[in-house]
């Protein structure tokens, strides 16, 4: 599958159960691409919403549009061979993570072309939205998440699913197989840690 034709997507009706999603994804990851077109037809609108949400945090004038981001992320996803898929919600969560990786790769490439220009510390608003939308901000958030993942992989996943994937606490709990109360408690701690990290405050 080399590209996605939106006019084709609009002409097809999709019916997909949670079992279908898991089966199709497992078959795709094993090299059988027969269900790839049908899968993206079923989730395309939701992927576009995730892409638009992520691009809303990006540099104004970013060359990537939601459609292009969906296409690039989906092509990377269907080439994944070591993912144990757990249905549609899990697929959307991994899609959000892949879109973030695409955007980070683009931001890092643009910064390399600028020959450096150190990343400045940035601030987050209450909703965890990056306040200054620059390539440096994208890289700073990614660096913070890499550091968080080293400290607590589960908390890093919560950030990706909530902040980048736009998932509710209930959806995050489902994907990570945690209780809603546990996710809420960790989310509060994560927000405080990220604000300190991105503001460049001294930490113990």
Q: Which tokens in the block code for residue 99?
A: 């879109």
pLDDT at 61: 57
Looking up tokens 């589960």, which residue turns up?
154
DSSP string, 121-184: P--B-TT--BSS-SHHHHHHHHHHHHHHHHH-HHHHHHHIIIIIT---HHHHHHHHT--HHHHH
193 Cβ contact list (under 8 Å, min separation 6) = 148, 155
Q: How far apart are CA 48 and CA 54, in angstroms?
A: 10
Q: What is the DSSP letter of 60?
A: T
User: pLDDT for 96-139, tens place per residue?
Assistant: 888 888 888 888 887 777 755 454 555 555 445 444 456 777 78
Q: Report the share of the chain in percent with pLDDT over 90.
A: 6
The phi-psi region of residue 158 (left if phi > 0; otherwise alpha if psi is between -120 and 50; otherwise beta) is alpha
pLDDT at 181: 92
User: pLDDT for 135-191, tens place per residue?
Assistant: 777 788 888 888 998 999 888 888 888 877 677 888 888 888 899 999 999 988 888
């Amino acid at each position: 599958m080399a590209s996605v034709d939106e006019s084709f997507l609009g002409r097809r009706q999709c019916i997909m159960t949670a079992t279908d999603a898991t089966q199709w994804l497992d078959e795709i990851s094993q090299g059988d691409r027969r269900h790839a077109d049908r899968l993206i037809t079923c989730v395309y609108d939701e992927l576009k919403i995730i892409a638009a949400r992520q691009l809303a945090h990006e540099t104004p004038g970013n060359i990537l549009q939601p459609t292009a981001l969906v296409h690039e992320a989906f092509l990377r996803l269907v080439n994944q061979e070591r993912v144990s898929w757990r249905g549609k919600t899990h697929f959307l969560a991994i899609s959000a993570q892949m879109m973030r990786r695409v955007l980070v790769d683009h931001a890092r490439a643009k910064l390399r072309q600028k020959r450096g220009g150190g990343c400045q510390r940035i601030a987050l608003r209450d909703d965890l939205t990056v306040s200054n939308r620059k390539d440096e901000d994208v890289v700073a958030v990614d660096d913070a998440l890499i550091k968080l993942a080293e400290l607590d992989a589960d908390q890093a996943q919560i950030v990706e699913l909530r902040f980048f994937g736009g998932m509710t606490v209930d959806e995050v709990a489902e994907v990570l197989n945690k209780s809603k109360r546990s996710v809420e408690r960790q989310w509060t701690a994560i927000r405080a840690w990220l604000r300190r990290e991105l503001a460049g405050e001294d930490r113990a």
